[in-house]
Structure 1
Amino acid sequence: MTYSDGDPNGFLDEPHVGVLHAVARTGTLAVPVWYRRAADDISVITSLGSRKGRAISESGRFGLVVSTGYRYVSLEGPVVETRECDFARDLVPMAARYLGGDGGRYAALWRDAVGDDLRVFVMRPEHRYSADVTGEFAALGIRPLPLP
């Protein structure tokens, strides 16, 4: 299976919700998250005191799977940067990526609910897997059922 457009980064640039996975002392965690790609790095924003934040901090790495059912990209690697979340530089652009013009309003609610505990975790993928089987389906004349 190949990635039909040849560019899984283009897929990652679309505003899909990813599933972050990390391993902590309490076990494995897999939760949906918003993410952003910049060059080769992937960033997520979460509270340092949340289960996600603690798992990423403990392990020093995380993975992300982004899927639309028949297309996916899976990334995993070390955290190369952890920083305090800046409202204008980090939070508003992340919220705007998923909510458009209403992103700023949501970012303000997010910041007010969590406070100074928000962190940006930046991961540099060491392992990357991707596939897009929609081309193979089309070549065989198969129309898969739509996924929710």
Structure 2
Amino acid sequence: MTLAMSASEREAFLAEAHVGILSVADGTDRAPLALPVWYLYEPGGEVAFITGRDSRKMALVRQAGRVSLVAQESAPPYRYASVEGPVVSIEDPAKQDDRRTMAERYLGAEGGAQYLESTKAVADTMVMVRVRPERWYTRDYRKQ
């Protein structure tokens, strides 16, 4: 028996609202930068996340041209999906509708509206990065 998720299982899992851990290469003398991110994903599509245009994360994403993202379930039985792939687009600035969708996904309608209000001064500095999943690594310990 394999603990790997099927293609449909992994895509459905990644489409759920998990906080992802984004990793991107950080040169030859450092470990990869790994940071938590909110993300969007629909089965068969691209992974998208929003970050600051002038952030260290964004500079490294531009330089590397590819990232990996891990989403996990933190309570037993554990599950995770890791995707790796190239950056296929950077939308600068991120669209207000995309920012709203992201905020509401993680905070609900009321919390999302509060978040957008509290970040409106930096909204024009945020960019949407889209990544095409090429490689998947998964485990679903519910299958044991």
Tell me: CA distance 1:125–1:49, structure 2 relative to 1, closer, same or farther (3 Å).
Answer: same
Q: Over residues 49-79 of structure 1, what are the superposed CA-to-partner deviations in whole Å (9 max), with x where a residue is unaligned?
A: 1121111111111110001141000001100
Between Structure 1 and Structure 2, which shows a larger proportion of strand residues?
1
Tell me how far apart the structure 2 counterparts of residues 83 and 4 of structure 1 sit (CA, whole Å). 31
Q: What is the alpha-carbon distance in structure 2 between the residues aligned to residue 110 and residue 23 of structure 1?
A: 28
What displacement does 1:2 show?
Answer: 2.8
Scaled by the length of structure 2, the TM-score of the pair is: 0.85
* Residue among 71, 95, 105 paired with 1:86: 95
CA shift at 1:33, angstroms? 0.5
Q: How many residues align?
A: 134
* 1:91-131 C-alpha deviation (Å, 9 max, x unpaired): 0000000011121220232232x242210000001111111
The 1-side partners of 2:33 and 2:89 are apart by: 20
Gaps of 5+ in 1: 137-148
CA distance in 1, matches of 2:8, 2:143: 11
- CA change 1:57–1:13 in 2 (3 A) is same
Q: How far off its partner does 1:24 sit?
A: 2.7
Residue 65, structure 1, aligned to residue 70, structure 2 = yes
Using the aligned pairs only, state the percent identity: 36
Measured in 2, the distance between the counterparts of 1:111 and 1:11 equals 31
Q: Which has the larger radius of gyration?
A: 1
- Give the TM-score normalised by structure 1: 0.83
Q: Which amino acid aligns with 2:25?
A: V
Which segments of structure 1 move beyond 3 Å, counting only runs of 4 or more? none
**Which residue, 105, 126, 141 being the options, matches 1:118?**
126
